[in-house]
Amino acid sequence: MDRSKLYRRFRTLLIANRGEIACRVIRTARAMGLRTVAVYSEADRDAMHVALADEAVLLGPARARDSYLNAERLIEAARKTGAEAVHPGYGFLSENAEFARACFDAGLVFVGPTAGMMTAMGSKSGSKALMEKAGVPLVPGYHGEAQDDATLAKAADKIGFPILVKASAGGGGRGMRIVRSAAELAPAIVSAKREAKAAFGDDRMLIEKYVDNPRHIEVQVIGDSQGNLLSLFERECTLQRRHQKVIEEAPSPTLNPAQRETVCAAARKAAGAVNYVGAGTIEFVSDGKDVFFIEMNTRLQVEHPVTELITGIDLVEWQLRVAFGEALPLKQDEIRLNGHAVEARVYAENPIKNFMPSVGKLSTWRLPAETGGLRIDAGYREGDAVSPYYDAMLAKMIAWAPTRDVAIDRLNRGLEDSDVRGIVTNIPFLSALITHPKVRTNAIDTGFIERELAALTSTAPAPGELELCAAAAAIVNDERQAAQGEANSPWQTFGWMPVGRRQRSFAFRVGHGPEQEISLNYGSGPSTLLIGERELAFTVAPKGGGFDLTLDGVKSSVAAVIDGHELYLRTRNGRFDLHWVDPFGGETEEQAGADKIAAPLPGTVVAVLAEEGAKLEKGAPILTLEVMKMEQTLRAPYAGVLKSIKCKVGDIVQEGTELAVVEASGE
């Protein structure tokens, strides 16, 4: 193959992706003097990556298979804009050998490995066969071509349960199921294949021995077309939920220097088996004694920033230089490890409700400044819409420090100083996770989050005196701010009194809890807040995103968002959602029954798992929706009879659509 067609200098780069990674690639490409072309679906017309790029091309409808997974439309977009190269990001077609080959055939530089390298290493089955031949230690498993049910069942029985059914072409936990008995195998394969087909366009499966409570360690590698292949240290990715990484750090706190060199040498050997070119990751699993190769990701990883922060290397820049045909700028012995970095993935999801994805408009998007070792890679801005069609990741927050403890502290402070409203996010969950004592001491494994889920998703503390005072102050401050510019507004003067009143009362509650009252006293002399018999002097000084509240001589910073009668507050005690009870009555609240089997979000019905008339136990599966590329199974809220199914496979349903009716058994 003519290398001049594979690797050559280009001026215009098309990014075949969306969200955070598209924004990330655009920034480095522009810093290198390249023109950038974004692509987008109808759901992403106003997305951040579209605004950042020099040009943007509409691919098609919202569904990924009609837009971001459509190789022909991507290549046509490159042709229309004069793009000479394509960066695939991660996810979508980033590990699709046919897309890499199609780019080459169209005369485009593909910023990544060749189609042949992808076929050899990107396929979990293919890479395992190659590593077995090269002598790299593997987890016992089946990675053959035969995909019939009988072959997979025989392989699972030979390996011994528990086993892991895993998409050969996948990643990010999609198309992956833990199976602990033979009875669970057939439905797990059906579900995993369906999810893999939807996410990657490929439903081939492999089966591995499931290592209970392992550690997950991966090594960043990168090679050039001159024959140079480097490892850039390792990352610890053990904190996972449902096989999807949540927190990543580099270097691994588990390995000593000798172990680090051993695993990095094994990674170089693995990548060297195909003379690898481009950025990639060699992933290992450890049972506490041995380390086994599990797969190679032939692309950039979501967690690449932690490697960048400990090495000072811009991996996207290196990817582009390799695609130019240049040699890597450094040799192996010139790469230095400096400090420690930790990354948290910020998702639009509700951890308290089983991590259900959240969609809607980002009415408030306040993240801290990127200073003091803090880095934020985001794909959204205030006012952007989070749709149900794609991955739920909004941003990544990464902290660097000389030591692991300080890096964790910096990351936690960054999370604590973040306020995102309009949707539900996992930010409080992330903060609870990284500050957990066992995470601090690195006493973790891949099952840690599931075991500690109750503690990590505990509800916020009840609002105290500070929060009630802050709620009243927030309303007063908001009214003052709204009155700015209104020359005759009485609210411009804080001590204004309608018809001689000198007291104003407020009532707040959390959810459907009891009301808590507080009174504002004003007029001549200092203003005070009265809670029960306790009277507190206070002042309010507005500042961006909130105000400083001085209460009995103690100044506290308060972040506040008011949406009608709903108040969000962040104080030193945490985050609080309060409802301001309408002082004039008229409270109307829709009571949604817990038994309503309805679509929690817009999605597609991908499976109906029970028949009308069936007797169901509480928790029995009824149907499965695909929401944000992940499957959500809706279950019976109680024992009863399935009276009706109001949808069929393939239906696209909106949030709140009733999908099934269950009649309680009366037990």
Return d(Cα 399, Cα 603) in angstroms, integer. Answer: 35
Return d(Cα 5, Cα 479) in angstroms, integer. Answer: 64
Handedness of CA 26, 29, 31, 35 (dihedral sign): negative
Q: Which of 606, 654, 610 is nearest to 196 (CA)?
A: 606
Alpha helices in 457-507 (DSSP H): 465-483
In the 8-state DSSP scheme, what is residue 119? I
With DSSP H G I counted as helix, E B as strand and the rest as coil, what are the percentages for the chain, rounded to 5?
Answer: 30, 30, 40
Token digits of residue 620 = 């029995």
Radius of gyration of the chain (CA): 27
Return d(Cα 203, Cα 150) in angstroms, integer. Answer: 16
Return d(Cα 233, Cα 282) in angstroms, integer. Answer: 11
Q: Which of 271, 137, 273, 155 is nearest to 205 (CA)?
A: 155
Is residue 136 within 8 Å of 270, Cβ to Cβ? Answer: yes
In which residue are the tokens 């602990």 written? 180
Handedness of CA 567, 627, 376, 23 (dihedral sign): negative
E strand map for 276-326: 278-286, 291-297
Give catalytic status of residue 299 as yes or no.
yes
Bridge partner list, 203: none
Is residue 200 within 8 Å of 174, Cβ to Cβ? Answer: yes
Bridge partner list, 621: 635
Nearest 10 degrees: CA dihedral of 104, 134, 140, 158?
A: 90
Helix (H) or strand (E) holding 187: helix 182-200
| Other Cβ atoms closer than 10 A to 457 | 19
Residue 182, phi then psi, degrees to nearest 5? -60, -35
Handedness of CA 111, 113, 119, 123 (dihedral sign): negative
Length of the chain measured in residues? 667
Return d(Cα 100, Cα 115) in angstroms, integer. Answer: 5
Token digits of residue 387 = 């749709």
Token digits of residue 137 = 């230690």
Catalytic residue among 35, 177, 204, 299: 299
Bridge partner list, 239: 247
Is residue 539 within 8 Å of 550, Cβ to Cβ? Answer: yes
Return d(Cα 131, Cα 140) in angstroms, integer. Answer: 12
Return d(Cα 489, Cα 483) in angstroms, integer. Answer: 6
Which residues are annotated as catalytic? 299
